[in-house]
Structure 1
Amino acid sequence: MTPGPAPQPGPSSNQPGVDGEAGVPGPSGVSRAFPAVIATLVAVHACMAVTRVTASLWVLDRGFGEWTVGLLQSLFAVAPVGLSLWAGRLADRFGFHRPVGVGAVMGFAGAVAALLASLFQLLPLMALSCLLCGGAVAVAAVAIQREAGLMAADASQLKRVFSWVALGPALSNAVAPVAAGLLMDHAGFSSAFALGVLLPVAAWALALRVPRHTPPPSRLSGGKPLPAWDLLRDPALRHLLVINVAMSACWDAHSFVVPVIGHAKALSASGIGLVLGSFAAAATLVRLAIVRWAHRLDEMKALRSAITVAMAVLLIYAWLPGMVGLMVGSAILGMALGSVQPMVLAKLHQVTPPDRHGQALGLRGLASNSATVAMPMGFGMLASASVPFAPLWLMASILVGAQWSARQVSPSLLSGPPDQK
């Protein structure tokens, strides 16, 4: 049977809510814990961010070469590919605390492995650390996103909630590398890795501030839980996943191409950093704007607009003049791509049953992380075989398909089949 929409809980529901126009947590016990949920995500993600930047610089300092950096970076996305579906089932069955606990243990073990690798010069142990830290985020993030979705009482609050969820990794990506860099400069690599060890402990301490509640029973087929793949029978969910993967790949394409184009235009390293920074800043600002004006946004109209803007920027990006032109183009692209995650997550929670939100989030994680592993290698091969900015043109053409998918997610698909209304 095609999954129907998630029913929207009202004020009298036993589901927690988020009150206020700006998405401020409401009076219920679970709602007051909303900041703790976001802070848990920041701490878990910061463990990965600290380990990622410190491990990269450590292997370069030890003379292992740039290819080793690329290998370690890819390992952060490998574990989520294998763990996302399992993490979704775990979250649907046990709720928030058990998956976050598993993620915290994995992050702690990964950070300890990185610390030991730096002390004893063991590259294989550093690779294991990257796998564990990437997997930690995959397992914990699904449960955190699911819990955050339960704190919204309607579609407008879903967009606000998931804008805050999207801001969590952005905040950790902004702060964690700076903190790690300062520690490396003034106290050495081991101190930066030690910071990574502390962050999963902080994440679990924050998670304990979130009240426990029993998840609804999962749907069964022949006495067994329905497989996550069964959700793909819902056309609305399939189209949302296509949009999510395409826009995530555009993010990867931009990250890949900016250093290449910047080098070709003779920009300095700081200039290239400013171009990338303008993208990240715009993505953060648009998510803050969604928090404020979520009640005025239609998710699918916003997604279609974002796809159109992204296509236009990708097509002309290579000819933008100088550093200022690239910064403006990156900022516009950052606004378009940064708006996608809150909208997709909000819609995803509306088209899937409440007892299967974890599985839907796991499918999304599997799809997006698979693209993250595969796309950079494909971009490199394409750029080497043609021109450096060819990946941007490729993604612009792929977004034509994403635009088609966005137009297929009609109100009739969102309302579910007649027997489930």
Structure 2
Amino acid sequence: MNTDATRPLPPHVHALVALCVLNHVALSGSRVALALQALRLGVPSVGLALMLAPFALASTLAALPLGRWVDRVGARVPALAGMATTTIGLAAAAWRPQVAVLTLAAALVGLGYTASLIALQGELARDRDERTRQSGFAGFAIGTAASGGFGPFLAGQCIARTGVQAAFGALALVSFAAWCGGMANSRRLIATRTAAPGARAALFSRATFAGLGGLRRLMLADLLMAFAWNANGFVAPLVGQRHGWPADTVGNLLGCFGAAVMLVRALPDSLRARGGDWRVIARALAISGGALALLPLASGALGPYVFEALFGGGLGCALPSVLALIEQRTPPGRRAEVLGLRQAVLGLGAATLPTALGALVAATGLVGALLGLGGALLAAGATIAPRGNAQSAGIVARIRASRSATPPGTS
């Protein structure tokens, strides 16, 4: 006999997670392929940054309008249009991998991925069964961790064996496969609007957003964790240079970080989320902040790997809880708009990270910069997350009270 704990997930949840993974393979692989091709063309570092910027700028500028679009028309059209846009961008890069076309391709891929991600995440959050919803979030987190490594691996292997055009072509086929999967499952992707009828004002006016204290704290915590995640790619080479580590050691450290992320996301929900989602975020901030602050002091054969594993494990456990809390705190009919806001905030953080971190390292040195960032994570874990946990407990209590007060047969 199947119970809530043992019954299999509905097929549409697996399909949605698979679509998210395929789209992320195309995105992560295209970033690496574009960077390698730009360097082969002799593009300087400043030009390379400008060519890669559209990936993040698409999320920053378009995510919130895209979220509102999804709320108005449903997930089907935005998801399929996003996958088609990604495929067109990658096909253009495969056709003519020159600077202008590659820059346009980066914009198309970033825009298409953002649209499909918001639509598909919203569908994962739409399931009324809490266990199914949590398992969908966990599957999404594990899948994106795996695809974040497989995409660059696929691009690198294709470039090494058959050239950059074949790499972009293979990634275009991956994106096209996602589009085909979306078409096959389009009946599962709702086509009706989800925004509240007659709602005219944008959700995130100053007055409205000021009243969503828990959501603001969640976005701030999420931004700090994303900033630390992205900073690791810059920090590990700098720490390696400081200690005189060879390039393969730095690569192994980043691989250890990725393995820790995969491992912690594969833990059962009952173990990973023990104590509530806000407590998971508090632990993630505290563990990752401490590991980041102590990373420059690591020495010996195992010390750096221990701190990178703690760093990856701390950050990796938080994503399912972030998505669950977004679903809990989203006003009715505005789910995709909130997800769009999250993508805009994360895109802004990714776009400003290199300048901000470089200025911090120049002003305080590497150790000072890592102590500052680690301290910010620790402070957030000690202040932001516990307040959110208390507020979540109040929300749950009110929901239970309202349910107990509802007369039988009126629900």
User: In structure 1, which of residues 228, 245, 248 is the aligned counterpart of residue 223 of structure 2?
Assistant: 245
Q: Provide the residue aligned with 1:262 in structure 2.
A: 240
- The alpha-carbon deviation at position 86 of structure 1 amounts to 1.5
1:168 paired to 2:143? yes
Contact 1:267 1:323 survives alignment (8 Å) = no
Q: Write the deviation string for residues 275-332 of structure 1: whole angstroms up to 9, x where unpaired.
A: 0011111111111114463574511122112222122212211101145311110110
Relative to structure 1, the CA distance from residue 356 to residue 320 in structure 2 (aligned partners, 3 Å threshold; closer, same or farther) is same
Alignment partners' CA distance in 2, 1:23 and 1:291: 15
Relative to structure 1, the CA distance from residue 80 to residue 380 in structure 2 (aligned partners, 3 Å threshold; closer, same or farther) is same
Contact 2:25 2:151 survives alignment (8 Å) = yes
Within a 5 Å distance, the mapping from 1:366-405 to structure 2 comes to 366-399=344-377, 400-405=379-384
Alignment partners' CA distance in 1, 2:329 and 2:74: 20
Cα-Cα RMSD: 2.5
Alignment partners' CA distance in 2, 1:22 and 1:78: 42
Amino acid corresponding to residue 357 of structure 1 in structure 2: R
Alignment partners' CA distance in 1, 2:267 and 2:286: 19
Q: Write the deviation string for residues 6-43 of structure 1: whole angstroms up to 9, x where unpaired.
A: xxxxxxxxxxxx98537841xxxxx3211111111111
Q: Provide the residue aligned with 1:10 in structure 2.
A: none
Amino acid corresponding to residue 164 of structure 1 in structure 2: G
Alignment partners' CA distance in 2, 1:396 and 1:384: 17
Alignment partners' CA distance in 2, 1:90 and 1:200: 22
User: In structure 2, which of residues 244, 261, 264 is the aligned counterpart of residue 286 of structure 1?
Assistant: 264
Report how many aligned residue pairs link the two structures.
Answer: 394
Alignment partners' CA distance in 1, 2:285 and 2:156: 35
Look up the SS of the partner of 1:219 in the other structure: coil
Relative to structure 1, the CA distance from residue 180 to residue 216 in structure 2 (aligned partners, 3 Å threshold; closer, same or farther) is closer
Within a 5 Å distance, the mapping from 1:29-40 to structure 2 comes to 31-40=10-19
Alignment partners' CA distance in 2, 1:209 and 1:166: 23
Relative to structure 1, the CA distance from residue 259 to residue 416 in structure 2 (aligned partners, 3 Å threshold; closer, same or farther) is same
- The alpha-carbon deviation at position 182 of structure 1 amounts to 1.5
Relative to structure 1, the CA distance from residue 273 to residue 393 in structure 2 (aligned partners, 3 Å threshold; closer, same or farther) is same
Contact 2:24 2:151 survives alignment (8 Å) = no
Alignment partners' CA distance in 1, 2:328 and 2:257: 29
Relative to structure 1, the CA distance from residue 116 to residue 214 in structure 2 (aligned partners, 3 Å threshold; closer, same or farther) is closer
Contact 1:215 1:355 survives alignment (8 Å) = no
Amino acid corresponding to residue 415 of structure 1 in structure 2: I
Within a 5 Å distance, the mapping from 1:75-154 to structure 2 comes to 75-118=54-97, 122-151=98-127, 153-154=129-130
- The alpha-carbon deviation at position 136 of structure 1 amounts to 1.6
Q: Write the deviation string for residues 365-421 of structure 1: whole angstroms up to 9, x where unpaired.
A: 111111111122211122233312433222123221353111221444551897995
Contact 1:54 1:189 survives alignment (8 Å) = yes
Unaligned runs of 5+ in 1: 1-17, 26-30
Contact 1:275 1:323 survives alignment (8 Å) = no
Within a 5 Å distance, the mapping from 1:272-283 to structure 2 comes to 272-283=250-261
TM-score, scaled relative to structure 2: 0.88
Look up the SS of the partner of 2:104 in the other structure: helix
1:338 paired to 2:322? no
- The alpha-carbon deviation at position 75 of structure 1 amounts to 2.5
- The alpha-carbon deviation at position 217 of structure 1 amounts to 4.3
Alignment partners' CA distance in 1, 2:52 and 2:344: 17
- The alpha-carbon deviation at position 228 of structure 1 amounts to 3.6
Q: Write the deviation string for residues 112-147 of structure 1: whole angstroms up to 9, x where unpaired.
A: 2322332xxx31221111121112221111111111
Q: Provide the residue aligned with 2:47 in structure 1.
A: 68
- The alpha-carbon deviation at position 353 of structure 1 amounts to 3.1
Amino acid corresponding to residue 114 of structure 1 in structure 2: A
Amino acid corresponding to residue 134 of structure 2 in structure 1: K
Alignment partners' CA distance in 2, 1:369 and 1:403: 25
Q: Provide the residue aligned with 1:189 in structure 2.
A: 164
Higher alpha-carbon deviation: 314-323 or 255-264 = 314-323
Unaligned runs of 5+ in 2: 403-411
